[in-house]
Amino acid sequence: MNVLITGTGSGFGFGLAKNYLEKGHTVYGISRKKNEELSLFPNFHFLVQDISRFREMQTNLVSFLKDVKTLDLVILNAGMLNEIKDLKDTSLDEIEKVMQVNVWANKVLIENLFQEIPEIKQVVAVSSGAAVSGARGWNAYSLSKATLNMLISLYAKEFVGAHFSALAPGLVDTGMQEYISSLGNEEKFPVVQRLKRAKGTSEMPSPKDAAEIFATAIEKVRTVESGSFQDVRKMHL
């Protein structure tokens, strides 16, 4: 398979890329920084790119994928979390920065990929339970992931030749969790306390283990309606 993954520099994106590379697939990675471990694989192709720089990304994407005729799978993984705090304390500038990366960059990517690549079979956006939970403190992140879910639903109706899904991976032990673990014990943010308790347990798998579960879910999600939101934790894998 030809697999394109964004955010391969570290964390979950790195775990996904390594998972597919180890299975012999060709991976096209896009990230702000290069991961040297992935570069050891001859079937790994890399574009260093900040996806929030839209025009630059459009230009670089064309040259990066100029010889690619088919993408069997696109995983839109790159994303960011802003400071955990109440929405009323979150500025519009903060929200816009998160939306640029978590939503609008994916709009640009999807439209350019379908313009440049003759055949794209499946698109999976890495979503989050925060998209539907409305948990206090997750402000811009929740807004962005809810919007991402709708973005995927809308594109599924426009690019009907491909299967689209927004897929939440559940808890993954990444740098994001390091930040959450460093926060104080404010009772008004109960999800933060739950994540702190989960860190280091089987409830929060490593990027490698989470990637294996997610890859299985990606195969299964093809059987559900294109454009839908699914949570790995609620799927029978």
Query: Is 205 among the domain residues?
Result: no
Rounded Cα distance between 14 and 206, Å, is 11
Query: Is 193 among the domain residues?
Result: no
Rounded Cα distance between 50 and 147, Å, is 21
Q: What are the tens digits of pLDDT across the range 210-234? A: 999 999 999 999 999 999 999 999 9
CB atoms within 10 A of CB 92: 9
Q: Name the burial class of residue 88, with classes exposed (0-12), middle (13-18) and buried (19+) by CB atoms within 10 angstroms of its CB.
A: exposed
Quickly state the pLDDT bin for 185 (edges 50, 70, 90).
low
Q: Where are the alpha helices (DSSP H) in 65-206?
A: 92-99, 105-116, 130-133, 139-158, 175-181, 190-198
Would you say 168 and 131 are in contact if contact means Cβ atoms under 8 Å apart? Answer: yes
Domains: count for the chain: 1
Q: Which domain holds residue 114?
A: 2-171+211-234
Query: Is 94 among the domain residues?
Result: yes
Query: Is 15 among the domain residues?
Result: yes
Q: What is the mean pLDDT of the chain?
A: 94
69 has pLDDT over 80: yes
**CATH number, residue 68:** 3.40.50.720
Q: What are the tens digits of pLDDT across the range 136-163? A: 999 999 999 999 999 999 999 999 999 9
Would you say 85 and 184 are in contact if contact means Cβ atoms under 8 Å apart? Answer: no
Task: Write the CA distances from 117 to 64, 74, 204, 209, 221, integer angstroms.
Answer: 11, 12, 36, 31, 23
Structure token pair of residue 38? 């992935």
Would you say 46 and 34 are in contact if contact means Cβ atoms under 8 Å apart? Answer: yes
Quickly state the pLDDT bin for 13 (edges 50, 70, 90).
very high
Predicted TM-score of the model (pTM): 0.94
Rounded Cα distance between 9 and 174, Å, is 12
